[in-house]
Amino acid sequence: MTERAKTTASASRPERRTFIKLSLATFLTGSATGGAFAQTAWTALGQPVSRIPWLQDVRRVIIDTDPGTDDLLALLMLLGSPTITTDAITVAPGNVEYAQEIRNALYLAERFGNGKVPVYRGLDHPLMGHPYPRAGFIHGRSGLGELNIPDEGLPLSKGSAATAIVNIVSEHPGEVTLLALGGLTNIALALLLDQSIATKIRGIVVVGGRYQGIGTNVSFNSMVDPEAADLVLKSGAPIVMTGDLGQDAMLGPADFDRIRSFHTKRSDIFIKSNVGRLHFEMEQRHKPGATYNDPLAAAMVIDPSIIEQFEQVHVSVELNGSETRGAYVFGATHIFTGDSVLPNVAIASQGNPARFRNVVFQALRRA
């Protein structure tokens, strides 16, 4: 751990917030485009590729999560996986009240991780302390549908989420993939504590980026902490985004019926927590099923062949718009200058829905 990390870990909350704001301002100033044409807009698509080398043969993950209904499925898929070790669960601000997220993470780690997966508390607010949206409308009052999650008093692991990320990545350079299922606050703070982890991690899988070509689109996770998302994208770390593959990452009523027939602990808790999500998406969003981008991120590290095409593209974050703050902006050429910009993300643009469902079914059949 760096001396700055040690100092930050022991600081009081006001001191820590001051450190975050000063460090963030320095980081962003050093990375910003600057000049009169700092506003970004793009005029060309990215380069399509069929395979991301670092995404192959992933063996270690840290799951940074804001445990809601879709996070639950992602956790069920990875906890107890025969091929991938979950080194830690870190809790990010996002879907529901932070204290409830902590309770959900501890409950799932105990029940499906055999109590062997450490859970770390992160920041309970975005880096700059701004208000952020919640998503109880789809995740239910507990974040896990209408399940009543017991407060069993299970202990959190000592230390902060950001420090745990720095330590684990530093101990296993080139091996650990970060699964960013919620707001990017903890990962951004880890980069502020030790920027070298951007070169030590295997890669980051970010849930978000509703990519449909050139332009702007809002992602819930980047809306939670736009400054954190901006910092992570500018870090130089290898990044894959799930995109929004629609029916390629969807489970419909027939899939729910099939899962219900498994009669395992995993299938039972999935059905109990996610029926409300299915009804909401079908009734309020007029979809043929429920979309599962967090489980898609988990499925991508379990079986990368689920994604049949990525686009390597430059992604930036809108930090100032009154209606679009937190939106991702995609492209490959700057509209003001005509200059090409280097890609910083490979975003999933085409998936295989049958393979995605098979990975989900195999996970939920496990005892």
Q: How far is CA 290 from CA 209, 254, 276, 301, in A?
A: 18, 12, 10, 21
Side-chain-side CA neighbours of residue 306 (13 Å): 25
Q: Each residue of 64-99: pLDDT tens digit?
A: 999 999 999 999 999 989 999 999 999 999 888 899
More confident residue, 334 or 123: 123
Burial zone of 365 (CB within 10 Å; 0-12 exposed, 13-18 middle, 19+ buried): middle
16 occurs within a structural domain: no
pLDDT for position 212: 62
**Within a 10 A sphere around the Cβ of 13, how many other Cβ atoms?**
10
153 occurs within a structural domain: yes
Of 11-25, 91-105, 121-135, highest mean pLDDT: 91-105
**238 has pLDDT over 90:** yes
**45 has pLDDT over 70:** no
**Within a 10 A sphere around the Cβ of 155, how many other Cβ atoms?**
8
Euclidean distance between CA atoms 329 and 210, whole angstroms: 10
Helix 265-284 to helix 69-78 angle, to the nearest 10 degrees?
150
How many domains are there within the chain?
A: 1
Kindly state the tokens that stand for 58: 């992933």
Task: Check: CB of residue 192 under 8 Å from CB of residue 11.
Answer: no
Side-chain-side CA neighbours of residue 173 (13 Å): 6
27 occurs within a structural domain: no
Mean pLDDT of 24-45: 49
Model's pTM, two decimal places? 0.87
42 occurs within a structural domain: no
37 occurs within a structural domain: no
Q: Each residue of 123-165: pLDDT tens digit?
A: 999 999 887 777 776 787 788 988 888 877 678 999 999 999 9
HEC sequence for 39-82:
CCCECCCCEEECCCHHHCCCCEEEEEECCCHHHHHHHHHHCCCC
Task: Check: CB of residue 113 under 8 Å from CB of residue 73.
Answer: no
Confidence band, pLDDT 50/70/90 cuts, at residue 35: very low
Which stretches within 217-302 are classed as H helix? 220-224, 226-233, 253-260, 265-284, 293-302
pLDDT for position 47: 82
Q: Name residues whose C-beta falls within 8 Å of residue 209's C-beta, 6 or more positions apart in sequence.
A: 217, 219, 241, 242, 243, 244, 315, 328, 330, 345, 347
pLDDT for position 17: 56
- Collapsing DSSP to helix, strand or coil, 44 comes out as coil
Mean pLDDT of 300-308: 96
Confidence band, pLDDT 50/70/90 cuts, at residue 22: low
User: Which run of H or E residues covers position 310?
Assistant: strand 307-317
pLDDT for position 23: 58
Mean pLDDT of 185-210: 95
Confidence band, pLDDT 50/70/90 cuts, at residue 225: very high
155 occurs within a structural domain: yes
Mean pLDDT of the residues in the chain:
86
**34 has pLDDT over 60:** no
pLDDT for position 336: 74
**42 has pLDDT over 80:** no
- What is the domain-level CATH number for residue 143? 3.90.245.10
Which of 69, 76, 67 has the alpha carbon at shortest distance from 364? Answer: 76
Domain of residue 259 covers 48-365
21 occurs within a structural domain: no
**308 has pLDDT over 70:** yes
Burial zone of 146 (CB within 10 Å; 0-12 exposed, 13-18 middle, 19+ buried): exposed
17 occurs within a structural domain: no
